[in-house]
Amino acid sequence: MLDKAGAAVLAERERIAARVRDELMAAGLPVVAPGLNPVLSQGVEVTVDPFDDDVGGVSVAWRSSPRLRSCVLRAVKLNLLDDPAFAHQRVVLEAMLPAITAILVSAGFTVRDSLNDHAPFTLEVLAGPGGSPSWGLREEEVAVSGWSGSSPGGSEP
C-alpha cells in the first residue's frame, strides 16, 4: 500500500496546483473546477496526488469536450479503431500539451511529460515559481490617490 505524502508536501502541491490553475486561466484557457463532475468538464484539469511516490505530485491534463470524449468512448466500446474521433482526439492532445507546457515554463514552472504509464498525455509539474505572477496587480494599480502609503493608519505623518 502506498503511503500518503506528509502535510507539508501536500500543502506545497496544493500551492503549486492553485498557481498552475491561475496561470493557465490568465493565459485564457478554460480550467476544470476541482470536484466538477467529469461528464461536464472540459479544459485544463489540474490534480494533486496525495501519495508519496515517484509519479505523484501535481498533474495537468487536457480534457476535450464531453462530446468528443463520448465519441472516443463509443468507438472504444464498439472496437472501431479507425473512427475519426480517435485521430482527432490524439491531434487535440498533441497540440494542447505542448502549449500548456510553454505557458507554464514561461511562468517559471518546471514541467515534464508524465512518467506514469497509466496517464498518457499528462504533464507533471515538479516545481512552481515564488513571488508575484506576471499578471498580478502592480503597486501603481492599487495606490490610492493622495495617499503615499507611508503610515499604517492610512494618513500621512
pLDDT score recorded for residue 155: 45
The more confident residue out of 39 and 74 is 74
pLDDT over 70 percentage in the chain: 88
Count other Cβ atoms within 10 Å, centred on residue 83.
16
Burial class (CB in 10 A: 0-12, 13-18, 19+), 121: middle
DSSP lists the bridge partners of residue 51 as 4
Region of 121 on the Ramachandran plot (φ > 0 left; ψ -120 to 50 alpha; else beta): left
CB atoms within 10 A of CB 60: 25
Q: Which is more confidently placed, 120 or 45?
A: 45
Domain boundaries, the chain: 7-131
